[in-house]
Structure 1
Amino acid sequence: MIASGYPDGTPADLSVRARREMPDDHPREWLEFTDPADPGHVIQVDLTWLLSTYRCRFGTDLCPGIDAANDDVGCCVHGAFLVDDDDRDALTAVTAQLTPDDWQYLGREGVHDAVQAWFRERDAVAGSDGTGDGDADGGGGAPAGHPPTGGADGSDGTGDGDGPVTRPDTLEPWLVEDELDGDDGPEPALKTRVVDGACVFANRRGFPGGTGCALHSWAVRNDVELTVAKPEVCWQLPLRRLEDVETRPDGEEIVRTTVTEYTRRGWGGGGEDFDWYCTGDPACHSGGEALWRTHEEELRALLGDPGYGVVAEHCRRREDLAAQLAQVPGGVAPSGLPLLAVHPATAEARRRGL
C-alpha cells in the first residue's frame, strides 16, 4: 500500500493512492553554496525539483483545478495576498493597462466605470499633493481600458523610487482587506478579490481573451516579465522560497534562502483538501526541458543573477555529464536525468511515455 503522507481519506491521500499523483515525501538532492554577491547569504536549492520536467498546465485539459466544482480556474480560487506596497503598486500599474478584451471581470456591468473612477480619484489625489500630474506618477498609468501613459513593462506605475506612491483612501476595486497569521497573531493583509469562487483576475472558460489569469495573458502578449505583471505569490509558483536567519558555531549570522517545490503542504493545512494538485501529477511532467531552464526569469528574481548563474552552471554540467554517460548501464538515473533522486512524477511521466 502506498504511503501518501496525508491523513487517511483526504483528497490528497486518495489522489496519491490512485496513482494520479506521486507522494510528496521522497528523496531529494540539494545544492548549497554561498551567494557570489553576498558572503553572508547561503543559497540552498532543490535539484530534484529544478531538474524535473514539470510544466504548469493551467488552461488545458490537463489542469482540472484544485476545486473540482470550479475546474477552469486552476489554483486561483482563494485570491492572491500581496506581500508589500511594491507588490500592490506593480499590480495597480498593470491593472491600469487592462481592457475588457484582456480582463473578463472588467466587462461586467458597472465594473469598468468603478475601476475608471478609482483611477481618476487616484490621479486627483496625486495631482493635489504635488506628487504627480494625474498620470504615470500616481502609480498606475491611465484608467483601465485607456491607452497607458507609460511603458508596457509596468514601470510607469511603480514610481521612480523617490518617495511613496500616492493612493486615495478608497481601496482599489480589485482588492479586499483580509488577515494573515503572523508571529504575534493575525495581521491585516490585502488580497485580490474573490468573485464567483475565484480570483477577480481569473478569466473563465469561453472568454474570447482566453482562459486563465488576465495578468499573465496580458504580460505574454505585451512581452512583459511575469515577475512584473503578477503578484509575487502567483509568479513564484511552482517554486517555494523560504528565508531563515541562522547563527553559525562561530557566532556569525547568515541568511539562508531555500528554493524548493511548492507542494500541497506549502498551502498550509488546506492543501490536503485540494481535489487535485499539479506538482505531483506525472501528466504535468511531460515537458522536455528542466525547470531551471523554463523558470529562469523567476529563479533570477528569487536568487539574483549571480545566484542563478551558479545554479545554471551546476545543472548544465550535470546535464552534460548525463549526455556523456547515457550509453553506460547505470550511469545515469532511470529517467535519463543527471540525478539519483529523480522527482517521482518526472520518472513516472517517462515510464508512461508522456
Structure 2
Amino acid sequence: MSRKTPPREVPLDFPREWIDFLDPADDQHLVRADLTWLLSRWTCVFGSACRGILPGRAEDGCCSHGAFFTDADDENRVKAAVLKLTPLTWQNHRRGFRNWTEMDTVDGTKPARRTATRSADGPCVFHNDEDFAGGGGCALHAQALRDGKHPLAYKPDVCWQLPVRREQDWITRPDGTKVLQSTLTEFDRRGWGPGGHDLNWWCTSSPDAHVGTEPMYITYAPELTELIGEKAYAKLAELCAARLKAGLLAVHPATTAASTIRRK
C-alpha cells in the first residue's frame, strides 16, 4: 500500500472512553458521552475526499437517499426553508415545490415520510449537481449559509445530526429514581441498520475524514448544543477539554491512522 493511500476504513469495534454527567440545568437528565468519538479529528469532507455511500457516486456524499423526518416539527421546519429556495439556488425548484416529499418505510412495515429522490436510485431532491450554476451540494445547506443561519436550522434532523448518534432512554436506577439518559456517540455503519454494512464507504471509520484541525466537540458545538442543551454542552466541553489535556487513552483508530499518514 502506498504511503499516500490510507486504509479505507478501520474496524468498527475498538476500545472507547465514556463519561457520564448530570445536566446542570436538569438533575433528571443524564448525559453519557463517547469521548473517543467527540475528541476525534473527524470532519466532513464532502466535495473533497468523500467517496460517497454508493459506488461511482462520490459527488452525492451521503445524500444518495432521501432523509426520513423525525416528526412533524422536523418536516414543517424544512417546509419553511424550502420556501426560501429559488430556481437560481435549487436545481429541482419547479418539480420540487410540488413533490419534494414521498412515503417510504424505515422498518419495512410502518409508513414514514421522507424527502423525495430525483430518480429511483437518487440522489435526494435537494442535492444540486456539481455543475449547477447555483452551486453543488445541498440546496438547504447553502441557503442557510446565505441567510447567515446554521444549516441545522433548515436541514432535516438526520442530515445535520450525522455523524453523531443520539439515543434517549428513561432508565430506572437501583433506588427507583428515573432519569432521561442521552447517549452521544459515533453514527457508524451499524447506525444505518443491516444495510449499513453494504455502503460503498462510510466516513466515520475512514482516516480520510479524520483530518480536522480541532476535535469534534468543538467543530460540532452547535449540533451538540441542539441535542443536549446549552448548559449540558458547556459541561461536556469542559470535561472534553480536561480529558484532552490529561491525554485520552482510547484514541479513535481512524484519527491515529490519519495522523500517522500525515507524518510519513
TM-score by length of 2: 0.92
Q: 2:161 aligns with which of 236, 239, 253?
A: 236
Q: Percent identity?
A: 46
Shift of 1:243: 0.9
> Residue type matched to 1:64 in 2?
R
Structure 1 stretches of 4+ moved >3 Å:
none
Relative to structure 2, which stretch is displaced further, 259-268 or 240-249? 240-249
Name the SS for the 2:142 alignment partner.
helix
* Partner residue, 1:265: 190
Shift of 1:68: 1.4
In the TM superposition, 1:148-163 aligns within 5 A as none
Structure-2 separation of matches of 1:208 and 1:318: 45
Structure-1 separation of matches of 2:169 and 2:102: 29
Shift of 1:179: 2.2
* Partner residue, 1:139: none
Name the SS for the 1:80 alignment partner.
coil
* Partner residue, 2:137: 212
Q: 1:311 aligns with which of 224, 236, 249?
A: 236
* Partner residue, 1:253: 178
The higher radius of gyration belongs to 1
Task: Report Cα offsets for 1:257-304 as digits up to 9, x if no partner.
Answer: 100001000000111001111111111111110100000000000010
Residue 179 (str. 1) matches residue 133 (str. 2): no
Residue 352 (str. 1) matches residue 261 (str. 2): yes
Shift of 1:36: 1.2
Q: 2:90 aligns with which of 98, 103, 120?
A: 103
Residue 51 (str. 1) matches residue 35 (str. 2): no
In the TM superposition, 1:57-96 aligns within 5 A as 57-60=45-48, 62-96=49-83
> Residue type matched to 1:189 in 2?
A
Shift of 1:318: 2.9
**Paired residues of 2:30 and 2:181 also in contact (CA < 8 A):** yes
Shift of 1:211: 2.0
> Residue type matched to 1:213 in 2?
C
**Which structure exhibits the higher relative contact order, with contacts defined as CA atoms closer than 8 Å and separated by 6 or more residues?**
2
Structure-2 separation of matches of 1:76 and 1:95: 17
> Residue type matched to 2:46 in 1?
F
Name the SS for the 1:39 alignment partner.
strand
Name the SS for the 1:86 alignment partner.
helix
> Residue type matched to 2:95 in 1?
V
Structure-1 separation of matches of 2:140 and 2:47: 14
Shift of 1:347: 0.5
Shift of 1:210: 2.2
* Partner residue, 2:27: 39
In the TM superposition, 1:183-194 aligns within 5 A as 186-194=109-117
Structure-1 separation of matches of 2:219 and 2:192: 23
Name the SS for the 1:209 alignment partner.
coil
Q: 1:341 aligns with which of 225, 238, 250?
A: 250
CA RMSD of aligned residues (A): 1.6
Structure-1 separation of matches of 2:178 and 2:207: 40
Task: Report Cα offsets for 1:93-146 as digits up to 9, x if no partner.
Answer: 11000012211111xxx527xx2xxxxxxxxxxxxxxxxxxxxxxxxxxxxxxx
TM-score by length of 1: 0.70
> Residue type matched to 1:59 in 2?
G
Task: Report Cα offsets for 1:52-92 as digits up to 9, x if no partner.
Answer: 110111122x1120101322111111200011111111111
